[in-house]
Structure 1
Amino acid sequence: MRPLEGLLVLDFSTLLPGPLASLILAEAGADVIKVERPGRGDDMRTYDPKIGDDSANFVMLNRGKQSVVIDLKAPDAAARLQPLLAKADIVVEQFRPGVMDRLGLGYEALRTINPKLIYCSISGWGQTGPKAKVAAHDLNYMAETGVLGLSAGIDGAPVLPPVLAADVAGGALPAVMNILLALRRRDLTGEGAYLDVAMGDNLFAFTYWGLGNGFSGAGWPVPGRELVTGGTPRYQIYRTSDGRYLAAAPLEDKFWENFTRIIELPGQFCASSAEPRAVIAAVSERIGARTAAEWQQVFSGQDVCCSIVVTLEEAVNDPHVAARRLFAHKLQAGGRDLPALPIPLASIFREEASRSVAPTLGASTTALLES
């Protein structure tokens, strides 16, 4: 039995944070009903590239769910949804604060018909505070929480992150965690809960070390000068002779000693008292003398915490990934099987051989709203 079997989730969210959260709940056994607007549905459906009628993004994030179409601004929308709302265990929404209240679908309205409801609101800046209704995206959250400011390229400008950390690690994953905690509390007390999940709030955990520096009086971190921002030769990215890169993180002395010995770094640069920039330059010269493949062979089997920077395609095809069966789960889209998005859910909580599909827009409207 999957642990969330028998639970009903109504998901009013779009794009990434809410849909990823409800995907994890669905994989753990919950019945997820995606509530979409008429005509267009979730904006993610229209993105490129397409797999069949919908985007690859949409089918990756919405497999195993049902879809109902309803105009939430219609006068009878709340009444039509009431039978589902009355028996739902969880509601997920990520509108701007106040929108669901105006639609008659806010927590206070719904708790009167369903006191055990767990209602999760995912937003950028939370339900209260001066920024609560400010429009933003992932890059903005990272910019305004100091995360982006700690990254710097060669020219000193912040580096554009390739991952949507705020949406995933600041929104979707905290939403799931708090929903599960609320379910546990409901088991003990019978009470529902309102959950205010703010992506901006949750990004600060990523900078725990910088906060420790600042709050302790040791000084606020500066990009390019700290342990994990480029201030040490023991945590750097070095260019190889063939234009690839080595990610070197031999932080502890035992790894650093192995690393410097293997690359034959001159002794004056191995001591802890050596000037960091001079050491970085010396290591760069040594690493730049060989190709990525040569360094990979040299470091193979050694305790040095060094990795060649690979492409996403290379990473997907890594033998370790295959051995872990990370892409063993499949989804069906466009008439073919595709690897499903790996999600952080232990294998014991999901079906091993599942083949799931993303819902066509409004496929379950008649069955769920008009029957």
Structure 2
Amino acid sequence: MPSALENLRVLDLTRLLPGPYCTMLLADFGAEVIKVEDTGPGDYARVGTPKWGEDSTFFHSLNRNKKSVCLDLKTEQGKEIFLNMAEKADVIVESFRPGVMDRLGVGYKVLKEKNSGLIYCSLTGYGQTGPYSTQPGHDLNYISYAGLLEFFGERNRKPTVPPVPIADIGGGALLATVGILMALFERNRSGNGQFVDISMMDGALSWLQLTLPDYLASNIEPKRGELPLSGRHAFYEVYETKDGRYLSVGAVEAKFWKEFCRVIERDDLIKQQYAPIQEQDRIKDEIQAVISTKTQQEWVEIFLGVEACVSPVNRLANLESDPQFIQREMIQTYHDTEAGEVKLIAPPIKLSETPGTIRELAPKSGQHTAEILAEMGYSIQRIDEWKNKGVIK
């Protein structure tokens, strides 16, 4: 079966989460992704437990379907090899701070001269320009600057740290993937590559579609816990069940709220869906008193087939048995000769004719260095010489 991105060659110089997530999506759909690591520890994500074989489960999840080449880009020979690799590549993805690749002598201007059709994506915290561009940072910093963190948490409490990296994936990895595919589409028209500048802070700011436009129009700053979809209203809230589990209620539309109130036998609350915020706390307490009378499973069965937007709050242990995830094959088992049975998160994009697939686990450090250099025309003697000198691994 053909793949959507067949014959696309990507050089991936990224580490940890955002960049590898982007290139994982490309690899899952058939791109040849060559992970370019240093000759030392390489991607820090390799370290950690639990492990499948030599590397962490986290590393395997993000780097499946890829190849690994280890180069010392600080040496002239390593730089020469990389430049020759870039000449035949379609895409380069890197996540160094601005200026690092230029100082190594392998920045976009140099690579563009060798390969005018190259798509060069730089995925950084703050982008290539601006006073923050060279600052270090992590997801929490990016969503802080973007104004997103301010709205996490309950009213009259401090902001709460989200449990998943929003800027890394939603503001960074996914937008980098989209940017790369847009640039490839444009290259089909013009034949020219281009520089894709992705800032995780910019991406996080773009998530404020329900909040920032209103502020820009009114200059009225909303308060934490009082946004329409932040737990302000009883119809969009989480309630605890008798057995210490939880139900999420997302009955935003009036028809869903009406059904929810009918099922919990509180028809009197139907007209109070948008009661003032002072009343919302009382309504929540009254709903909580009802939800506390039954277990999570009992409520799930009661709401089965009812259009009220009520769901169980799943734990990780529930995901493999959830019938929707089973039907969608979102957790797949890969059989590896060394690691045995390995369970991985499946590609979330479903294409009818060219679906994404998990073809192999992540590569060992430098697993494909000799193979790819030989394909480029380097002799076995030269490859062995560079290995002995530490230029490659």
Answer whether contact 2:68 2:363 (CA < 8 A) is retained. yes
Gaps of 5+ in 1: none
Distance 1:351 1:228, change over 3 A: closer
Matched residue, 2:214:
213
1:31-65: CA deviation from partner (whole Å, max 9, x where unpaired): 11111111311111012211110000111111111
1:287-327: CA deviation from partner (whole Å, max 9, x where unpaired): 12222122112111101101111101202321111111222
Matched residue, 1:246:
247
| Residue type at the aligned position of 2:40 | G
CA distance, structure 1, for counterparts of residue 37 and residue 244 of structure 2 = 47
Cα displacement (A) at 1:220: 2.3
Does residue 1:73 correspond to 2:74, yes or no? yes
The percent identity for this pair of structures is 38
Query: RMSD in angstroms over aligned alpha carbons?
Result: 2.0
Cα displacement (A) at 1:9: 0.8
The equivalent position to 1:305 in structure 2, one of 309, 313, 337, is: 309
Query: Matches of residues 55-204 of structure 1 in structure 2 within 5 Å?
Result: 55-153=56-154, 156-204=157-205
SS in 2 for 1:163: coil
Judge which range, 311-320 or 174-183, deviates more.
311-320
| Residue type at the aligned position of 1:337 | E
Answer whether contact 1:265 1:286 (CA < 8 A) is retained. no
| Residue type at the aligned position of 2:175 | P
Does residue 1:284 correspond to 2:285, yes or no? no
Query: Matches of residues 245-264 of structure 1 in structure 2 within 5 Å?
Result: 245-264=246-265
CA distance, structure 2, for counterparts of residue 333 and residue 228 of structure 1 = 47
Answer whether contact 1:50 1:56 (CA < 8 A) is retained. yes
Cα displacement (A) at 1:331: 6.2
Cα displacement (A) at 1:104: 0.8
The equivalent position to 1:362 in structure 2, one of 361, 366, 376, is: 366
Answer whether contact 1:331 1:355 (CA < 8 A) is retained. no
CA distance, structure 1, for counterparts of residue 55 and residue 222 of structure 2 = 44
CA distance, structure 2, for counterparts of residue 182 and residue 273 of structure 1 = 45
The equivalent position to 2:328 in structure 1, one of 303, 311, 324, is: 324
SS in 2 for 1:121: strand
Gaps of 5+ in 2: 380-393
CA distance, structure 1, for counterparts of residue 31 and residue 356 of structure 2 = 16
CA distance, structure 1, for counterparts of residue 24 and residue 45 of structure 2 = 14
Cα displacement (A) at 1:201: 0.3
What's the TM-score, normalizing by structure 1?
Answer: 0.94
Distance 1:184 1:9, change over 3 A: same
Answer whether contact 2:34 2:69 (CA < 8 A) is retained. yes
1:44-94: CA deviation from partner (whole Å, max 9, x where unpaired): 101221111000011111111111111112233221222211111100000
SS in 1 for 2:226: coil
Answer whether contact 1:235 1:250 (CA < 8 A) is retained. yes
Answer whether contact 2:246 2:313 (CA < 8 A) is retained. yes
CA distance, structure 2, for counterparts of residue 324 and residue 266 of structure 1 = 36
What's the TM-score, normalizing by structure 2?
Answer: 0.89
SS in 2 for 1:323: helix
Matched residue, 1:18:
19
